[in-house]
């Protein structure tokens, strides 16, 4: 079957192509002032209305932006609503960069929030990123907890570490 796209389809396609080209040009402009762009991204990630667009925009910026925002991103990974988008953004990091940046942010986050839900979300993040050594360390830390719900995380994720 050789279906010909109608005018509406062609118009939609051309609009999408134009929008992608405009986004690429905008990203290049944002990259010219890294400090201002990072500050704006920090603000946007803290704003519920701007968070998702900021996470999408991070996909187009260099990994150095993601590295610079790792602490905030790891904190956002605790949110059930943002966890998947954050995993996708951090998942674009080269493995060696993720190994250097993410575990430190995880330990910092656990210093601020160490309940069983935080342990579970962070264990899921580490597993998603393939950071087995950090996941093993998180499980060891969970096993040492007085909280049985936290210790359960180690049982649930221990085989992944």
DSSP reduced 3-state for 114:
coil
What's the rounded Cα separation, in Å, for the pair 147 and 154? 12
Please list the pLDDT of the chain residue by residue as tens digits (161 residues).
Answer: 556 768 999 999 999 999 999 999 999 999 999 999 999 999 999 999 999 999 999 999 999 999 999 999 999 999 999 999 999 999 999 999 999 999 999 999 999 998 999 999 999 999 999 999 999 999 999 999 999 999 999 999 988 76
- Say what angle helices 116-129 and 95-112 make with each other, to 10 degrees: 180
Give the pLDDT confidence score for residue 64 in this predicted structure.
Answer: 96
What global pTM score does this model have?
0.89
Write the DSSP symbol of residue 141. H
């Amino acid at each position: 079957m050789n279906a010909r796209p109608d005018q509406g389809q062609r118009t939609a396609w051309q609009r999408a192509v134009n929008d992608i080209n405009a986004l690429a040009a905008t990203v290049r402009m944002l990259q010219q002032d890294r400090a201002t762009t990072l500050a704006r991204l920090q603000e946007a990630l803290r704003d519920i209305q701007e968070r998702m667009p900021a996470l999408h925009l991070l996909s187009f910026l260099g990994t150095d932006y993601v590295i610079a925002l790792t602490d905030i991103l790891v904190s956002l990974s605790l949110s059930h609503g943002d966890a998947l988008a954050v995993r996708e953004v951090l998942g674009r990091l080269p493995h060696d960069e993720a190994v250097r940046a993410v575990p430190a942010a995880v330990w910092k986050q656990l210093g601020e929030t160490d309940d069983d839900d935080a342990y579970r979300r962070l264990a899921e993040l580490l597993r998603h990123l393939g950071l087995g050594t950090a996941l093993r360390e998180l499980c060891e830390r969970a096993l040492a907890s007085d909280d049985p719900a936290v210790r359960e995380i180690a049982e649930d994720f221990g085989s992944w570490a």
